[in-house]
Structures are given as structure tokens and as C-alpha cells.
Structure 1
Amino acid sequence: MAKKTYNVIRPHQGDRWYEQGETREAEPVDVKHLVPGTLVLAKAEPTPQNKAAPAPKNKAR
């Protein structure tokens, strides 16, 4: 099974101590007991869909 990335929302001890705000990579079956209150599945940063074109550098007056 593939490892997934989780955000730590409460300090805990796993293979080492994890503090709040860190990320942890683990197998889902190994951390399923921590998912509701200690870990949250990290989501990928969304890419902007309709980003406006940059303004031209030389504007005619």
C-alpha cells in the first residue's frame, strides 16, 4: 500500500515525537487510530483555474 501524507494537529509519539504543525508520512493502516483527532490527511495545494493574464508592461496612453 502507498504511504500518505498527514498533517499533525496534536503532538504524539510514533517512530519519533511529532509536534503540532508538522507533516508525517505513513501507511494508512499504521495510523488509522490517529486519523480522527491527531492526524488529518494532507491535501494538495489547489492550482488556480482562471488566473488573470498579467498586465502589459508598456501601456499606451
Structure 2
Amino acid sequence: MMKYEVLRRHIGDKQYEQGDEREAVAADVAHLVKAGVLREAGEKKPRGKAEPAPKNKAEPAPANKAGPGRG
């Protein structure tokens, strides 16, 4: 039996939540590993690219068309 880290919630012999540890026979959960639901415990997480810093695209507040005293 091997230990696996749960990456997505699923129901097996019980309900598993993300982050839980599950112990199972490799042949029984091979389809879940392939689908990205489980990962072998201790396996490093794949590193993705860093997200680019968001550009500040805030626009100034629009001026009211109705000036003071109108209405």
C-alpha cells in the first residue's frame, strides 16, 4: 500500500477532501493519479510560471455631467 496526497475532492472508500492523505494499492488508484486527483505523497508539486504583475488600469472617476445646481 502506498500513500497519496488528495489534490481534488472525491469519494473512494470514504469521502476525501483536498489535502487529505489516502493510503491505497497503486493499481486501484492509477486512474485517479492519471486524472490528477491524487499524487504520490512526498512527490514535489510542479512549479508554474509566476503570474505577471497586474498593470494599474484604473481610470479617474468620471465627471458628473450634471454640475452643481442642476438637477
With normalisation by structure 1, the TM-score equals: 0.65
Counterparts of 1:32 and 1:42, CA distance in 2:
14
Matched with 1:39 is 38
Comparing both chains, which one has the higher relative contact order based on Cα–Cα distances under 8 Å and sequence gaps of 6 or more? Answer: 1
Displacement after TM superposition at 1:43 (Å)? 1.5
Counterparts of 1:18 and 1:5, CA distance in 2:
13
- Judging by fraction of residues, say which structure has more helix: 2
The runs of 5 or more residues in structure 1 that have no matched partner are: 45-61
Structure 1 outlier segments of 4+, above 2 Å: none
SS of residue in 1 equivalent to 2:19: coil
How many residues end up aligned between the 2 structures?
42
Task: State how 1:21-40 maps to structure 2 within 5 Å.
Answer: 21-36=19-34, 37-40=36-39
With normalisation by structure 2, the TM-score equals: 0.56
Larger Rg: 2
Q: Percent identity?
A: 50
Alignment partner of 1:19 out of 17, 20, 25: 17
